[in-house]
Structure 1
């Protein structure tokens, strides 16, 4: 009996010390000495999961509403400010937060769709593509409402679902631009798994909760990501020959989205940008981009291919167009893209 009691005492003490150590590490990792952990905790204030009483519902990521955050990414040494309105959409003008008009009336709308490139990852509100496009229309005294519907890591399935939600309270825009990015290739796998696996949906919800509130969890994620072998972010996917087979999730997701926008009478335009290589130089017509472009053309979806114009702009200007240590467009490139989009609308 004494041995059983002693064993229970040891287990209790181990549990007690483990809990104490956990809370101690939670306090330590929140100190300024761990800026990477602080960034992740702060960034989670910007990102919310769609809430539902059903744990098996698909946990789509969205921007949280009514946020105004100053963020600092220590690994990339970039400071930027992000503001969102009551709809959870990033500001596209200085008056975005004061715009309480009816969502079914007012000036014609232009929607910017996509992932972190459309959103404007790592740049200030006024440096993002939608803001730059809005400023061009303001300069021309051409009244339009530009809406930034970009969300980090949003693939084709996620864009379709986002449009379904937007259409519940907004009529179709005069035009919607999907700023295509190669990360959609892998996002399609992830989103398909979310659709088919209830266990994966629960895992994502638990992981999100821990990453939002636990410094220890974020520290472990940083260590894991640092040492796991993977290719650099936002770089061209090495490929040769055909990339998208007939049953590839990315092809199916794109075709589903194209069918959806036609049914809902959303005038979608697919925008292609050059991708950065390992030296952060623009690469035109990677195998993946060529196939997605052909899928769009075959589906009679208008294409605005800015790859060569951007390459020429980079070559002639001899200036950086991607963020250093990252690969997302910098403010100079966003402004150029906005000017090209505005030019295409006039034509």
Structure 2
């Protein structure tokens, strides 16, 4: 049950991945990330993977887990790549990224949570009931008073990202980062959050392709489209469809 009273469903396969069908295991388009990519709070027919299939006939594999940080994303990707036969390796990998990683990465390394994290990772990947019990992760509130702070380049997230992009098992040439505006505490696109611009510069410095959907997100919001889940901040169906359209255009080399 969402904060706005609406329900949402989720279907998983034997690997704990959210799926539309069993065909996704051989899909050439992969998603990685956290709740943003997983479609947290969205019913199946409003997720990016659904729009990719219904609009573009593109099967996709969803390797995303709620409330996971950069190291967790890397762990899932590496495990999945190593378990695949050559013919089932992805052609392209898309990461729907959000500054919530600045919070999630700090949680991964603080105190006892550093040792509890592997347990959380296993349960989040394999237990539907555990995922349902998880509280929605903070997505845009980086301080107690609700205003984003600019994280420095020596933050643990940037260190983890350097580790991610330099890992020999990660096919960096296949990777594309997508991002849009997150939701502010007031419910509109958080255009005051400077972390997006700094992160974009960082990705470019690392030689990683990016798709910046911030301007299009603002336009959708001005058109009163359901960009965010009310009272929650995760992507709504309009933003999920925007992600799918951008990915399909890139994957299929459409004009």
Asked if these proteins are the same fold (TM beyond 0.5), I'd say: yes
Q: Which runs of 4+ in 1 moved over 6 A?
A: none
**1:83 Cα shift?**
0.5
Indicate if the aligned counterparts of 2:70 and 2:101 stay in contact, CA closer than 8 A: yes
Match status 1:77 vs 2:5: yes
Q: In the aligned structure 2, how far is the partner of 1:265 from the partner of 1:245? A: 21
**1:198 Cα shift?**
6.9
Indicate if the aligned counterparts of 1:90 and 1:125 stay in contact, CA closer than 8 A: no
1:135 to 29, 54, 76: 54
Match status 1:156 vs 2:62: no
Bigger radius of gyration among the two: 1
The answer for the alignment partner of 2:140 in structure 1 is: 235
Name the CA shift for 1:263/1:124 in 2 (closer, same or farther; >3 Å). Answer: closer
The answer for the alignment partner of 2:44 in structure 1 is: 125
Indicate if the aligned counterparts of 2:52 and 2:244 stay in contact, CA closer than 8 A: yes
**1:267 Cα shift?**
0.8
TM-score (norm 2): 0.81
Q: In the aligned structure 1, how far is the partner of 2:170 from the partner of 2:64? A: 22
Name the CA shift for 1:182/1:265 in 2 (closer, same or farther; >3 Å). Answer: closer
The answer for the alignment partner of 1:227 in structure 2 is: none
The answer for the alignment partner of 1:280 in structure 2 is: 187
**1:181 Cα shift?**
1.3
Name the CA shift for 1:294/1:204 in 2 (closer, same or farther; >3 Å). Answer: same
1:31-90 superposed Cα distances (whole Å, 9 cap, x missing partner)? xxxxxxxxxxxxxxxxxxxxxxxxxxxxxxxxxxxxxxxxx34x4412111100122111
Indicate if the aligned counterparts of 2:29 and 2:59 stay in contact, CA closer than 8 A: yes
1:211-248 superposed Cα distances (whole Å, 9 cap, x missing partner)? x9xxxxx9xx99xxxxxxxxx943354345x52233x2
Q: In the aligned structure 2, how far is the partner of 1:326 from the partner of 1:263? A: 32
**1:265 Cα shift?**
5.1
The answer for the alignment partner of 2:34 in structure 1 is: 115
The answer for the alignment partner of 1:5 in structure 2 is: none
Name the CA shift for 1:166/1:279 in 2 (closer, same or farther; >3 Å). Answer: same
The answer for the alignment partner of 1:31 in structure 2 is: none
2:218 to 306, 311, 314: 311
Name the CA shift for 1:177/1:274 in 2 (closer, same or farther; >3 Å). Answer: same
What stretches of structure 1 of length at least 5 have no aligned partner? Answer: 1-71, 139-143, 213-217, 223-231
Name the CA shift for 1:162/1:312 in 2 (closer, same or farther; >3 Å). Answer: same
What stretches of structure 2 of length at least 5 have no aligned partner? Answer: 128-132
Indicate if the aligned counterparts of 1:176 and 1:266 stay in contact, CA closer than 8 A: no
Name the CA shift for 1:203/1:147 in 2 (closer, same or farther; >3 Å). Answer: closer
Indicate if the aligned counterparts of 1:109 and 1:175 stay in contact, CA closer than 8 A: yes
**1:343 Cα shift?**
2.2
Q: In the aligned structure 2, how far is the partner of 1:199 from the partner of 1:189? A: 10
TM-score (norm 1): 0.61
Name the CA shift for 1:278/1:263 in 2 (closer, same or farther; >3 Å). Answer: closer
Higher relative contact order (CA 8 A, sep 6+): 2
Output the aligned Cα RMSD. Answer: 3.0
Equivalent residues in 2 for 1:224-263, closer than 5 Å: 233-237=138-142, 238-239=147-148, 242-246=150-154, 248-260=155-167
The answer for the alignment partner of 1:336 in structure 2 is: 242
